[in-house]
Amino acid sequence: MPFMKRTFRYIAVPAAALTLSLTALSSASADADNSDEGDGASLPDLGTASASNSDWGDSTVTVNQLVQSDNGGYTSLTWTVHDQGGNKIRVSNFRNTVFPYGAQGLTPANGVALLDTDNEIRFYPSKDDEGECLCSGPRTPRDYATTVPENGEATYWAAFDLPEGLSSVDIEIPGFQPVTNVPVG
């Protein structure tokens, strides 16, 4: 039975996050006025920040969406890391080194935080009942990028539990300057 529970968790949680993210991206991209000439793909740009990690040079991070479910609580964040100069940016660089997640504490994207500056509250990604981060990691789809392609980009996600009525947050992604005043949609 634990196998079934674990299998369900690895399928249901990413599926729910993907559904919410795709719904948000499809409605948000209709309003976005930016498109990628190369492959026709388009993601919204809610804010961009430069690297604070000096090893990453001119690399940037773009917040693509931050959307809360209709009845509050569950909030999905999607962001894209843009490598400028072949800096070998790994998703493990986004790990939270203070609060371990999961049995081994090795979930890569669990260091991303949302900051409610008005109330001075920091939100880290949600955990499932086994302590695993509800965020990008090696247990997500096969095309998951553990390293951002040289001079390319990779998109990641994380789920949070935000209170209703929060209109904007600052987003902290380790290795980058904060993306400030991002609206909660």
**pLDDT digits (tens), the chain, 185 positions:** 454 444 444 444 444 444 444 434 433 333 333 333 445 467 899 999 999 998 999 999 999 999 999 887 899 999 999 999 777 888 778 887 777 776 665 667 788 999 999 999 999 999 888 888 888 875 655 666 778 888 999 998 999 999 988 999 999 999 999 999 999 99
The alpha-helical segments, DSSP class H, found in 56-175 are none
| CA separation for the pair 25, 28 (Å, rounded) | 5
Distance, first Cα to last Cα, the chain: 38
- pLDDT of 90 reads 85
Is the Cβ–Cβ distance between 80 and 102 less than 8 Å? no
Contact 44, 77 (CB under 8 A): no
Token digits of residue 65: 């969406």
Residue 153: its pLDDT value, please? 93
Find out whether 108 and 126 touch, Cβ atoms under 8 Å: no
pLDDT of 41: 65
Residue 112 to residue 109: CA distance in whole angstroms = 6
Amino acid 51: pLDDT: 94
How far apart (Å, rounded) are the C-alpha atoms in residues 13 and 16?
5
Tell me how far apart the alpha carbons of residues 86 and 84 are, in angstroms, rounded to a whole number.
6
pLDDT value at residue 135: 85
pLDDT for the residue numbered 96: 78
* pTM, entire model: 0.74
Q: Name the DSSP letter for residue 126.
A: P
**Cα separations in angstroms, 31 against 24, 28, 51, 151:** 11, 5, 27, 27
CB-based contacts of 20, cutoff 8 Å, min separation 6: 67, 69, 74, 76
CB neighbours (10 Å) of residue 146? 12
